[in-house]
Amino acid sequence: MTAAFTGPAESGLTVVIPCFNEVENIEPSYREITNELGHYPLELLYVDDGSTDGTLAEIRALAAADPRVRYLSFTRNFGFEAAFSAGYRYASKPWILHVDADQQFPAAEAEKLIEAAGRGNDAVFGVRTNRQDPLLRRWGTAAFHFLGRRVLRIEIPPGATAFRLVRAELARKIVDLRLGTPYFLATVPRLTSRYTCVQVAHRARERGESKVGFGFLASHAIELFVGFTRRLTTAASATALFAGGLGVLATGAAALGVLGAGATAALLFALLSVLLVVLSLTVRYLVVVGAGQARPRQFYVREANFAVDADDRLFTTADPAGPRLIDVQLGKGVSA
């Protein structure tokens, strides 16, 4: 029998806050989240993605003062996808609210997501109404959604961002798939049709610098385009076949004297350029296939203030460089 649906307002939520070198934003993010959402049954789960500044020290201080604060700290920087995936896996509440540490999404806007989730949705995604980011990033995002949704027909919640509220069971199902090309926004529609988007406010970053550059966004987009649809690789294969056929015809025409040497060289050069583009897409596709083979886990935890799975830990002994490492068997902290 299926359990009765309970929204986050009644059952509570874990706020997952991924952070990498966000020392200036840890305490302000905590203060804003607890002020705006503290009336709900609440847990704050900070995921330190291998920060090299004082981020972890700030998180430790919050955890020591507030039992609602839990944290994970990675052995190195594993990236944004790994950071929120770890948070989703270890969230203890029935609902997960994803809030980045940079505070560009006001915590108060979560009320809109909570209200929409209460109507029976499994996932609710925030959509920026007045995005406060550089023009190049805004154009890049628009191009990404146009190519992904309109051209390649990948089902992505329109305008969806990382500011989202998701049923914890659904989030963990996605994390546990261990996809070679993990892409949360494109995976949700493959598992459920009960998702929606709501418009939310957005503000400029006040402290620190963004860690998301153009290279990351471009690589992430290519992984989506190659990993979640066959349209691109099918088009590449058809183009290669067509270009190969033209090459054969051009060679025959040149041998019969129908085409001059200059025209033949220009045509063959153009066909070679097309084939090189196809080759690059093919190589990228092979990378995606290879990513689905046996490989290290998506992340490894060095330190946490709660018990974590043994498989998610790199070491099973105390870390002499850190103040505490979780003992999985006993569920107790081990002093360094």
Backbone angles phi, psi at 280, to 5 degrees: -65, -40
Per-residue pLDDT for the chain (336 aa), expressed as one digit of tens each? 456 678 888 889 999 999 999 999 999 999 999 999 999 999 999 999 999 999 999 999 999 999 999 999 999 999 888 999 999 999 999 999 999 998 899 999 999 999 999 999 999 999 988 776 666 666 666 666 677 666 777 778 888 888 999 999 999 999 988 776 667 888 899 999 999 999 999 887 777 566 555 566 666 666 766 666 666 666 666 776 666 666 666 666 666 666 677 776 776 667 677 766 666 666 656 655 555 555 578 899 999 999 999 989 988 765 555 555 444 333 333 333
> According to the model, what pLDDT value does residue 290 have?
57
Q: Is 330 helix (H, G, I), strand (E, B) or coil?
A: coil
Residue 279 φ then ψ, to 5° = -60, -40
The pLDDT, as a whole number, for residue 181 is 65
Per-residue pLDDT, 188: 93
pLDDT for the residue 193: 93
| Residue 328: per-residue pLDDT | 39
Which pLDDT belongs to residue 146? 72
pLDDT of residue 164: 96
pLDDT for res 332: 38
pTM of this prediction? 0.73
pLDDT tens-digit series, residues 136-152? 666 666 666 677 666 77
Residue type, 223: E
Nearest-angstrom CA–CA distance, 108 and 37: 7
User: What pLDDT is attached to residue 270?
Assistant: 72
pLDDT of residue 10: 86
pLDDT at 221: 66
Alpha helix segments (H runs only) across the chain: 8-11, 26-37, 55-65, 80-90, 110-117, 135-145, 168-176, 184-191, 214-227, 231-255, 261-291
Pairing status of strand 69-74 against strand 42-48: parallel
Residue pLDDT, tens place only, 164-210: 999 999 999 999 887 766 678 888 999 999 999 999 998 877 775 66
Please give the angle made by the CA atoms of 85, 224 and 279, to the nearest 5 degrees.
Answer: 135
